[in-house]
Each structure stands twice: as C-alpha cells, then as structure tokens.
Chain A
Amino acid sequence: MSNPPSVWQSPAMAARLKGRYAAERRFRALGFAAIALSLAFLAFLLVTMLANGIGGIDWAFLTGSDSTEAANAGIWGAFKGSLLTMGVTLALSFPMGVLAAVYLEEFAPRSRWVDWVEVSINNLAAVPSIIFGLLGLAVFINFMGMPRSAPLVGGMTLALMTMPVIVIAGRNAIKAVPPSIRDAALAVGASPVQAVFHHVLPLALPGILTGTIIGMARALGETAPLLMIGMRAFVSTPPGSITDPSSVLPMQIFLWSDEVDSAFVQNTSAAILVLLAFLITMNGIAIYLRNKFETRW
C-alpha cells in the first residue's frame, strides 16, 4: 500500500491555486479600479471647472453684480445674498438645534411623544430638500404672506432643513461627555440646568460646531428649495437687507448655466470655483476643529 502523492503537489492542485490567486489579484484590482474611477471623475470635474473658469476670476467679477452682459456680470450680489441667507439660517437653526439636542439628551422623559420627536428628527434629516421648499412656499409665502425671493424666507426654509443635522450632531457630542462630569457638578450643589449649561455644553461644543459647519456647508450649496420660494429673480443690485429680493451663489450658477450666450460658461465655472473654495474651507475648518478640540475620554 503506497500513499498517493499528496494532493498539494498534484498539477491539478497547482493549477487551481494559481487560478485562485489570479482571482484574488483580479478582485483587488477591481476594487482599486472602482475607487480610482470615482476619484478620476472628481479630478475630471475639478479640472474642467478650473480650465473653464480660472480665467474669469478677477476683481471685477468678485465685486460686480448680475448683468445681462457676460463680461460685466459678477458674483458680489449673489454672494451677499448667500451671506444674508446663511446668517438667518445660522441664527435660527443653531440655537434651536442645540436646545433641542440638550433637551432630548439630558432632560427628556422616556415617553411616547418624545419618541415621536426623535422619529421626526431622523426622518427630517432624510427628507428631499425640495420638500422643504414646498413647505416654505405653502407656509411662509402663501400662508404668512412673507416676501418672495427674500433671504429671510430662504434662510428660514434652510434653517428647518439644517436643524435636524445640528440636533443629531449635538446629541452625539453631548452623549460623548462622560457622566462623571455631570455627577461632579451635581455633587457640589449645581442644579441639573447649571450642570448642563456650565459643564456639559462647553465640553460638547467642538462636536456641535463641527456638525453645525457641515450642516451650514450643505445649506450653502442648496438650490432646489430656494427655487421653490422664488429666489431665481434677476437681481442686479446687491440686497440691502434680509427682506430685499436677492439671489444666492448656487442659484446664480443655475441662472447663468441657462444662458444661451456661451460667454456665460466662463462665469458659471468661475462662480462654481468660488463656491467650491468656500465649501472646502468650511469643511476644512470642521475637520480642524474636530481634530484639535475633540477630547477622547
């Protein structure tokens, strides 16, 4: 009785192993190709915008307002509209988001309707942005009679959209503060409200700010809900207050992209570069804040 040679040495086995290793390499290459393709698209997009738009960025473009002539058109008007809109959004959504997060994380009793609040916050974070536009149109403009095209209404609509983002980020940040902090404050005689506002909230602030900046960056790039409340007017003078008709940066991009005159291609791409520069800066600040101030307990 002689044992057959080990199957590990047989030529069939060698061929099978070779096939399996080849499959392994193919799979790995496929994975790399997938991510390379995605990033190549990103690079393609950025390079296209740079090539089309970098020549259009000069002082006159940055300080001018919309015009029917491509050469005279600038983005200051739309930019100021964006600033005012974001100001309204921040002023409304930040305090409300933080207060709601504090309530839900620290004080809310376990009851049926607190569950409802949580469910609706989670769902609002996933509702398509255009639905918020419909809400703004139906409630703020038609029901309350606020002015169309104004940064006030745009900011309020975007605030409703941003608030759930801030609440979710705020709750996570507050949850990350260890209970020993609260216990220590309560032990020396602070009331629950004092413990939260003097000790927990300052420690959670970097996390809350990170979430807020990310939410604001999303609101800054948002177009669809503002389209619903009529912020697509041709505005040739920068808005003076939050009730004046105004445009915003992404809306300016949308309006210019619709122009037949091909000279507007440069304007559109240049405006996109400005918008992207802002978004990347905001996200960079958020990442910096997170790395710099976040404490690992």
Chain B
Amino acid sequence: MSPNILLLVLLALGALGWFAGRAKARALYTGKGSLHSLPSHHGWHLALWILVPALAGWLIWSAVEPGLVHTAIMASPAAASLPAMDMERDAILSEAFQLASDPSAAAFNPAAEGLVEPIRAATMKFSLIGAALLALLAFAGGGFGYTRIKADFPARTRVERAVMAALLAASLMAILTTIGIIASLVFETGLFFSHVSPLDFLTGLHWSPQDGSGPEVSKTYGAVPLFWGTIFIGAIIAMIVAIPLGLMSAIFLTQYASARVRTWMKPMLEILAGIPTVVYGYFAALTVAPMVRDLAEKLGMENPSTESALAAGLVMGIMIIPFVSSMADDSIAAVPSAMRDGSLAMGATKSETIKKVLVPAALPGIVAGVMLAISRAIGETMIVVMAAGAAANLSANPFASMTTVTYQIVQLLTGDQEFDSAKTLSAFALGLVLFVVTLVLNIIALRVVKRFREAYE
C-alpha cells in the first residue's frame, strides 16, 4: 500500500476517533460541572491515542522494512546466482527494483529479470505486514484511549501536555539545524584535513583542485586566492558601490524627501532587495560584463576577459544598496531628535547637521549595518557563479577574472564525483570558513547594534 493512502486512512481513523470520543464524552454529561474537560478535549485525546502510536510505528517500520525485504530477496533461490561482489550485486538489485515498480522499463542485465518476481512477492508481503502492524497499533491505542473517557478524566491537561511537547519540539528544530550545519561541516572538513594539511589550505597560494594527486595533493589546495577574490569582490568593490549609494539614499529619504516621495521611493528601493540573485547574475553576465570589458579595452588592456571581478562586484553592490540603506535609516532614526534640533538651533544648515552630528552619532549602527552587508555579500553565490569566473587569481586588477569561495563550492560539488575525494570534501572546508566568518561578522554587528540602541534609550 502506498504511504500516501496509508497516511490518509490513518488521518481518517483519527478524525473518526475525535468524533467518537466527543460523542462518548457528551453522553456522560449530566449537568453543569459533571465533566472535568470539554467533550472536544476528550475527542482530541482519543485522536492523539490513535495517531501517535501508529505514526511512531510507521516511522520505525519504514526504517526497518527495506532491510527485511533485502534479506528476503537474498534468501530466495533466484538470488543464489548473483555475483558475490557487493557493487555488482547492488547494481543488479537496484535494476530489478526498478523493473518491479515499472514493468515498461527495459532490463539491462538478464539476471535482474529473474529477481523481479521474488522482489514483488517480498515487497507485497512486507507492506501487508506493515499495514497490519499499523492497524493493530491504531486500534490498540484507540481502544485504550476510548476506555479512559470518564466524567472525571482530565483530558484537557493531557491534551495540553501533548501540545506543549509539540511546541517544544518545533523550537528545538532551530537548534537542531544549527547543530546539523556545524556537525556536517566540521565532520567533512575533518575528513578533508586528513588529505590536506590545514596550514597548506589556509596559507597556500596555489588553488587547482583538478590536478592534485599523490603526495603533492596538499600543494594544490591553497585557498588564499579564493579568500582574496571573495574579499575583493564582496567586501571592497561591492562596498565601494553600496556604502555611498545606500547611505546617501537613506539620508535623502529620511532627511530631505517629502512624505509623499518617501512612500513611493522606499518600496521601489526595496524591490531591488527582492529580486532573486539569479536574475542579478544573469544581468551581470549579459549586460554589465560586456560593458566592463569594453571599458577595459578602452583603457588599453589586451584581451580583457568577459568575466571580471568588477562586473560581479558592481552588481553585487547594487543588490546590497537597499540593505545598507535600511540599516542606515534605522540607526539615523535612533539618534535622539534633541541632538539634531540643537545643531539646527545653533545655525547649522541641514547638511552640516547631518555630516557633523547625525552621521557621527549613528556611526556605530552604520558600521554594524555595513558588517552585516559584507557578510551577506561574501555569502552571495549566483552573481559570482554567473559573472566572476573560475580562475583563481591573486591580483588587485578589477578587470581580471577572479574566483570566490562560493563559486568554488558550487564548482566542486556539481558534477558526478564520488563523495569522499579530497576535491568534494574541500567544498565543505570552504563552507566551514564561510560559515565561521559570516557568523563572527553577524555576532559582532548584532552586539554593536544592541549596545548602540541602549546608549540612546
């Protein structure tokens, strides 16, 4: 039986239990105060008793079932002729499984055909056993729950305890995700460092994971050019674009623009933040990169490449503008108006007030905003994948093709490689570096913002 139908049947049983429980509790009602809990609470209590054991059983069963099916097939006479090598046997088996579920598929290996029947029989048998097990659990749970419905039974307390457990589980998910990220990155990075020494990885100047083999492999994983490319594109070029434009936009919107202009321009600026990065990447590759190349040619460069750090950095900077702008907006708004009024009352013009009073007072917040913007820019992937290039260059020439950490992660993990080579593992090491750097930037920035807010409150 397919899992979807099974799930639907279970849910229907649960709903039935809800009505049955409520009906029984209602029958017990003899007058005001005769029931401890509302009939609907008794309904929920019964429904939970039906669903929770059955679903738990289903989860366990679906983890165990494939193994049981596998043993049953291996015990069948048709499997006796299978090769002893694990790899070959698994290949034939997976083909036979495909045949069993889809008769129109063509068999590649004749040995697979003989296995189809045993597989069908075994899957059928075990899915019937599984369904019977589920039914048993659902009815046992339901029966037990049904007998507990009494006038003085505290169904509400029990149901609310279950609700609290669900709430707790949901909020645990956030911690689980964080642990999952750290554990998987650290684990794979550990495997990588058994091939390549961490020192070579963090300080080496040569990055060419394709041609490393043997004892020399450590020398081809020097990630410094990637770090430099990431910083140059994300933290230098993009910020040269984003900081002045974002800051000046925020100043204009908060200090000069009339309310009407602001209600129109602010959402328009926010559209820039909502455009998917793949669209920016395409725009960078299609329109901005050729312009940058033409510019490089005019400046007298020979054979400038289409992929340049400048094109990627420019577009990334524009993507970040709304982000910088809204952070600057918040920090300027947090400066007490008494400081601004005092400056204006002394005869300073508006621009002098902004330059000498508002911006210096808001500076910690603005710097924190810039740090968050940098952390966002260096983690940005699609723009650099589509516009920055693959060559690991250690140069300060913005027209050169340059690669970044995120680009290399994508490059190393797309394509069909075995999963335990140094090449694929290095992507996780790069991911760990990226994660740690963005985490540190975020934590510092949030601290600064918090302290800054407290200073004025």
Contact = CB atoms under 8 A, between A and B. Distances in A.
A92 to B, nearest CB: 9
Given A103-B168, A222-B276, A31 B283 contact: no
Given A23-B349, A24-B350, A124-B178, A272 B156 contact: no
Interface in A94-148: 95-97, 99-100, 102-104, 107-108, 113, 116-117, 120-124, 126-132, 134-135, 137-139, 142-143
Given A38-B318, A254-B382, A122 B180 contact: no
B277 A224 contact: yes
Given A138-B428, A191-B156, A96 B173 contact: yes
Contacts of A276: 275, 279
Contact of A35 (B253, B355, B428): B253
B379 A123 contact: no
Contacts of A138: 184-185, 187-188, 428
Interface stretch (A39-47, A55-63, A64-72, A176-184): A39-47
B93 interface: no
A99 B428 CA distance: 32
A285 interface: no
Contacts of A120: 174-175, 177-178
Contacts of B68: none
Given A21-B349, A103-B170, A265-B286, A35 B249 contact: yes
Contact of B167 (A100, A130, A132): A100
B257 to A, nearest CB: 8
Nearest to A222: B276
B372 interface: yes
A160 B256 contact: no
Interface string B427-438: 110010011001
B174 A117 contact: yes
Q: Is the interface of B mostly helix, strand, loop or mixed?
A: helix
A41 B174 contact: no
B160 A193 contact: yes
A12 B77 CA distance: 109
A34 B249 contact: yes
A126 B438 contact: yes
Contacts of A167: 174
A37 interface: yes
Best-buried of B177, B279, B382 by chain A (most CB within 10 Å): B279
Given A116-B175, A128-B380, A95 B170 contact: yes
A54 to B, nearest CB: 15
B406 interface: yes
A188 to B, nearest CB: 14
Given A34-B249, A128-B380, A42 B271 contact: yes
Contact of B278 (A30, A96, A197, A250): A250
Contacts of B280: 45
A99 B434 contact: no
Contact of A223 (B244, B382, B446): B382
Interface string B251-281: 1110110000000010111011011111111
A193 B248 CA distance: 48
Contacts of A42: 268, 271-272
A99 B274 CA distance: 27
A117 B172 contact: yes
B439 interface: yes
Interface residues of A, number: 85
Interface string A14-51: 00000011011011101111110111011011001100
B386 interface: yes
Contact of B381 (A224, A232, A268): A224
A28 B249 contact: no
A164 interface: yes
Contacts of A129: 379, 381
B252 A34 contact: yes
Given A42-B272, A224-B406, A34 B248 contact: yes
Contacts of B381: 128-130, 223-224, 227
A128 B349 contact: no
Interface string B409-445: 1100110000100000001100100110011001100
A46 B378 CA distance: 25
Contacts of B277: 221, 223-224
A160 B171 CA distance: 12
Interface string B308-328: 000000000010011000000
Given A128-B379, A191-B160, A221 B167 contact: no
Contacts of A220: 276
B167 A127 contact: no
Given A100-B171, A221-B278, A24 B380 contact: no
Contacts of B164: 107, 193
A108 B171 contact: yes
Interface string A151-182: 00000000010011001000000000000000
A28 B256 contact: yes
B193 interface: no
A20 B247 CA distance: 21
Contacts of A96: 170, 173
Nearest to B321: A38
A217 interface: yes
16 contacts: A20-B349, A31-B256, A35-B265, A45-B275, A100-B170, A117-B172, A121-B174, A193-B163, A221-B278, A221-B279, A223-B276, A223-B278, A224-B382, A227-B410, A280-B271, A280-B274
Interface of A: 20-21, 23-24, 26-28, 30-35, 37-39, 41-42, 44-45, 48-49, 95-97, 99-100, 102-104, 107-108, 113, 116-117, 120-124, 126-132, 134-135, 137-139, 142-143, 160, 163-164, 167, 191, 193, 197, 217, 220-224, 227-228, 230, 232, 250-251, 253-254, 257, 265, 268, 272, 275-276, 279-280, 283, 287
Given A27-B350, A38-B321, A250-B276, 6 more contacts: A41-B272, A95-B170, A127-B435, A134-B428, A138-B428, A197-B163
